[in-house]
A and B are shown apart, each in its own frame.
Chain A
Amino acid sequence: KAGVTQTPRYLIKTRGQQVTLSCSPISGHRSVSWYQQTPGQGLQFLFEYFSETQRNKGNFPGRFSGRQFSNSRSEMNVSTLELGDSALYLCASSRSQTDYGYTFGSGTRLTVV
């Protein structure tokens, strides 16, 4: 079966711009979570969506937002980009909140210059 698909794979943006990243979960998976991965901080939780509702949110500023569509696909948006937003953004899906064990996508590498 197809895995978790994230697009685009790579992105270069300038400070102040905004960016939208996309994640298509495994078919049948309704929970989608987003993480930011950096060498210094490791994996930091951004937010989790289930059935189009944000269920959990991490400690990130309001510039980071997301949404989930009825087909479980999810997008995250970062506005007013800062240099420190450069990271690998990972999406992970699972069947439900209680189906422990994520399936991760390959990530979107965002570079802010």
Chain B
Amino acid sequence: AQSVSQHNHHVILSEAASLELGCNYSYGGTVNLFWYVQYPGQHLQLLLKYFSGDPLVKGTKGFEAEFIKSKFSFNLRKPSVQWSDTAEYFCAVMGGGSYIPTFGRGTSLIVHP
């Protein structure tokens, strides 16, 4: 069974700082990759996804993620965070012929104004 690791459980940043959240997965075959975000009091929302093509994926609100196949990674980045980015971020991986994504345990991001 594949697994997804998000190494940073809690991240605290000041506004304008750069962000990188790590995501590593175990499956070595073809994968589809996702980042979801859950803002306080809101439901999980899809932030961005990778299926194929350009390994650098751009999402909403200035977020991007890079798929590095050799490192089994799909890290989420933002050059300058805002207070409104405070949320929990989940990485998810779908692969091995399964249509069911496996989620990481999430990273809680707090951005101080």
Using a CB–CB cutoff of 8 Å, the interface residues on chain A facing chain B are: 3-4, 33, 35, 41-43, 45, 48, 55-56, 58, 90, 92, 97-98, 100-107
Q: Do B44 and A101 touch across chains, with their CB atoms under 8 A apart? A: no
* Most interface-central of B42, B43, B49, B90 (chain A CB within 10 A): B43
Chain B interface extent, by class: 20 to 34
Contacts of B43 in A (CB 8 A): 3-4, 90, 104-107
In Å, the complex CA distance between A104 and B90 comes to 13
Which residues 76-113 of B sit at the A interface, judged by CB distance below 8 A? Answer: 90, 94, 98-106
Say whether A42 contacts B90, CB under 8 Å. Answer: yes
- For B36, list chain A residues within 8 Å (CB): 104
Distance between Cα atoms of A45 and B100 in the complex (Å): 8
B3: min CB distance to chain A, Å: 11
Closest residue to B49 on the A side, CB-wise?
A101
Within 8 Å CB of A103, what residues of B? 46
Bound form: Cα–Cα A79–B46 in Å: 32
Contact, CB under 8 Å: A42 / B45: no
Task: Please indicate which of the listed interface residues B44, B45, B98, B102 has the most CB atoms of chain A within 10 Å of its own CB.
Answer: B44
Tell me the bound Cα distance from A100 to B103 in angstroms.
14
Given A33-B100, A42-B106, A101-B34; A90-B44 close (CB under 8 Å): yes
The residue in chain A whose Cβ has the minimal distance to the Cβ of B1 is A59
Tell me if B100 and A48 are in contact (CB < 8 A): yes
19 CB-based A-B contacts, threshold 8 Å: A4-B43, A42-B104, A42-B106, A43-B90, A43-B103, A45-B100, A56-B98, A56-B99, A56-B100, A58-B100, A90-B43, A92-B44, A97-B99, A101-B46, A101-B49, A104-B43, A104-B44, A105-B43, A107-B43
| Complex Cα–Cα for A102 and B100 (A) | 10
B46 touches A42 (CB 8 A): no
In the complex, A98→B32 CA distance in Å? 11
Q: Report chain A residues within 8 Å CB of B90.
A: 42-43
